[in-house]
Amino acid sequence: MPDRMDRREFVKRSAGAAVGGVLLGAPLAAQTEAPKIRNYQEAMEYRRLGRTEMMASHLGLGGHHLSGDQAMRNQVVARCLDLGINYFDTTSDGEADELGQALEACKGRDRAYVVRDFLDARDPNLRKATEQEYKACVLRRLDDGLRLLRIDYVDVYRMTPPESGMEEFHNVQWFAEAFLQAKQQGKCGFMGLSTHNPEFQARAVQEVPTVDVIYLPYNYVFSGAADRLFPNVTGEGSLFELCRERDKGIVTIKPFLKTALFNTDAFQERYEGKKRAEDTVAAFALRYVLANPHITVTIPGMDTVEHVEANVAVVKHGPLSEAEVGELDRQTRHVMASLPREYQWFHRWRAT
């Protein structure tokens, strides 16, 4: 794959990153008093989410889950809490409703950090809205989310703007002003921004002081692009370095390439019969992400209790060995050669 460090260099760098996490401002649970960590469990690792001062579980529960099986979702959320996960993400209204019911069922609200999203990107009418109309929509959707989540406060209110470019950037500033109004009303704590465009993210971090947390794709396939965003690799101006300097939290999405990692014949042939979840390419992919000390939380979607248990089991396994990197590399080659049309943007991100 192009733009990739060789395997020996990756193993060396990953090991160094894991050891260097403390120096780079990502304290582990062992260095923080456990009673101060929400929903602390020994099996989980926790990291400081930038200036929010939240000690968030290194593994969170991602969104994009709408199975319609509320009983299963209740079990998944309960198991997440049992194993020390304290960071819960939602994207759509349906996901907010499911999470709200699940947290209510297990009485888990006080153990969870909850995220509500404002999907600017999916509402073409917002492109025609006036500033006043836009801000009113931001506040209205927050109220809708609180109702669906069955709570009166979200820890992070996140905006997802369009990916088309900088022409929509003024919406970020409008969102930030509406967010501050809602924060003063006691309805939300911190502002997040999610986009697949690293230049958009960097501009927001530099020009919108209200942004506390950024969300971006990060996985093994994107390592060429991600390496160029690392401090001490690209030098000044890299996104990760910028966030560290400004004390912004970083949450990553798509550690499994939106399940594309599992949807190939090569995956089924090689891993279907594996006895141990920690020996699968899914475990290797997750460990690659978790080894990055700049990342506070990664939020895969988890649809079953088994998914939760398998993912939590590898949180403290550390960097990949050279052989494990080889397995992950072979599988991702198959993935990138057979991506469906809607995920061709993976190639663009890798070439960033």
pLDDT-derived band at 165 (thresholds 50, 70, 90) equals: low
Model pLDDT, residue 83: 97
Q: Cβ neighbours of residue 146 under 8 Å, at least 6 residues apart?
A: 116, 152, 153, 154, 187
What mean pLDDT is predicted for residues 259-276? 51
Least confident of 57-61, 178-182, 216-220: 216-220
pTM of the model: 0.83
In 3D space, the residue among 58, 59, 76 whose CA is nearest the CA of residue 67 turns out to be: 76
E strand map for 164-235: 188-194, 211-217
How confident is the model over 90-141, as pLDDT tens digits?
999 999 999 999 999 999 999 999 999 998 866 778 878 899 999 999 999 9
User: Would you say residue 323 has pLDDT above 60?
Assistant: yes
Q: How many residues does the chain have?
A: 352
Model pLDDT, residue 34: 64
Report the distance separating Cα 240 and Cα 250, nearest Å.
8
User: Would you say residue 264 has pLDDT above 80?
Assistant: no
How distant, in Å, are the alpha carbons of 77, 117, 205 from that of 282? 20, 27, 32
Model pLDDT, residue 180: 98
User: Would you say residue 15 has pLDDT above 50?
Assistant: no
- Residue owning tokens 């927050």: 142
Segments making up each domain of the chain, as ranges: 7-350
Mean pLDDT of the chain: 79
What mean pLDDT is predicted for residues 155-170? 81
| Higher pLDDT, residue 5 or 280 | 280
Give the chain's end-to-end CA distance (angstroms, integer). 14
Model pLDDT, residue 220: 81
Residue 146: half-sphere exposure toward Cβ, Cα within 13 Å: 18
The torsion region of residue 302 among left (phi > 0), alpha (psi -120 to 50) and beta comes to: beta
The CATH number of 7-350, from 2.30.40.10, 3.30.470.30, 1.10.101.10, 3.20.20.100, is: 3.20.20.100
User: Would you say residue 290 has pLDDT above 60?
Assistant: yes
Q: Cβ neighbours of residue 102 under 8 Å, at least 6 residues apart?
A: 70, 73, 74, 76, 77, 78, 108
Model pLDDT, residue 14: 43
How confident is the model over 41-83, as pLDDT tens digits?
998 999 999 999 999 999 999 977 666 689 999 999 999 999 9
How confident is the model over 271-287, as pLDDT tens digits?
445 556 666 778 888 99
Residue 157, SS3? strand
pLDDT-derived band at 182 (thresholds 50, 70, 90) equals: very high
